Amino acid sequence: MNETPASARTAPVEAGLIPEAATDAAPVVEFRDVSIAFGGPPVLQHVSFSVAQAETRILFGPTGVGKSVLLKLTNGLLRPDQGSILLFGEEISHMPEGKLFPLRARTGMVFQEGALFDSLTVRDNVAYQLIAEGVPDPEIDRRVRNALGFVGLEETFSLYPSSLSGGMKRRVAIARAFIRKPELLLYDSPTGGLDPVTSTTIIELVMKERDVYRTPSLLVTHRLQDAFTLCTNRFDSERNRMVPLPEGETDPNTTFLMLEGGRLIFDGSLHELMHSENPFVRDFLE
């Protein structure tokens, strides 16, 4: 199911239009038969998948199916009842909280509503990890301005989150997740509740991170449009905007997962998703 047609992978790569497919190196994240419940029926059951180096995995599913729970399991914010989770090759499902912090510091996470610290300025929010590490102030200011420049929000440097719109908060959250050049990015519905124009801006930022820095990521969404945009476009660094891939081509490093009733019912490429026989997948797409 994971296999993409060879022609779809090689032609655009040879043409230099899209990056090479994910390598065979050890996966950044690996779920092995993971289940979790919160005192009621199981939220996730026997979920297994992996995220390879430079791979972007888009996790689909209706609301309340456990997508955010899966994302929080990935960096140890929640612990599974059963199964094991490997993050950067280390088993984290029973790892003490104290040992998890250095691993989490290597990941970036964008929360559904941004989860900015409302008592801190945008500068201090974006620089949160750098401040905790004792980086000198001039260095922090420089890196924060770079990160805010990446998301197009340099002018918000001294503002508080309460004076930002929903889309701006989400972009600041992305800047906060990017600032330390993480080795894995986790996006929890980054476009949820936003207007189409702002959603496209956010997806463009996700694409920029994918194509410029080749950071592996796991993106949760229930918006098909965002997923298809990510799959059928690439970021052009020279023009500093996304451009469509040639007709019929898709990004080989962007693949899909779908959850239904706590179970993973699909794991594969866009081509396989579009041709899936699974009735739930068909319903979801239609």
Partner 1 sequence: MPIDTIENTAKQLVLTVQDYSLFAARAFMNLWTEPRYWPEFLVQSDIVGVGSTSIVLLSGFFTGGVLALQSAATLSQFGATAVTGQFVSITMIRELGPVLTGIMVAGRNASSMASELGSMVVTEQIDAMRALGVDPMRKLVTPRIFACISMLFFLTIVADAFGLLGGAFVTVFLNHQDGTQYFSKAWESLRYPDIIQGLVKPLFSGYIIASIGCFYGMRTTGGTQGVGRSTIQAVVYSSVLIILVDFLVTRVLLALFPPL
Of 85, 4, 1, give the one whose Cα is nearest residue 249: 4
Minimum distance of partner 1 from residue 102's CB (angstroms): 7
| Residues at the site binding partner 1, with contacts judged by CB under 8 A | 72, 75, 77, 97-98, 101-102, 104-107, 109, 111-113, 115-118, 128-129, 132, 176, 186
Residue placing its CB nearer to partner 1 in the complex, 45 or 93: 93
**Distance between CA atoms of residues 139 and 71, nearest Å:** 31
CA atoms within 13 A on the CB side of 41: 6
**Distance between CA atoms of residues 210 and 218, nearest Å:** 11
Minimum distance of partner 1 from residue 237's CB (angstroms): 28
194, 178 Cβ separation under 8 angstroms: no
Minimum distance of partner 1 from residue 33's CB (angstroms): 24
Pair of tokens at residue 151: 């998301």
**Distance between CA atoms of residues 249 and 247, nearest Å:** 6
If you search the block for the tokens 């059928």, which residue do you land on? 232
Residue placing its CB nearer to partner 1 in the complex, 70 or 227: 70
Amino acid at 101: F
Burial of 98: CB neighbours in 10 Å, binned 0-12, 13-18, 19+: exposed
Residue placing its CB nearer to partner 1 in the complex, 10 or 119: 119
Minimum distance of partner 1 from residue 136's CB (angstroms): 15
Residue placing its CB nearer to partner 1 in the complex, 104 or 210: 104
Minimum distance of partner 1 from residue 178's CB (angstroms): 12
59, 73 Cβ separation under 8 angstroms: no
Minimum distance of partner 1 from residue 98's CB (angstroms): 7
Residue placing its CB nearer to partner 1 in the complex, 46 or 72: 72
Residue placing its CB nearer to partner 1 in the complex, 56 or 75: 75
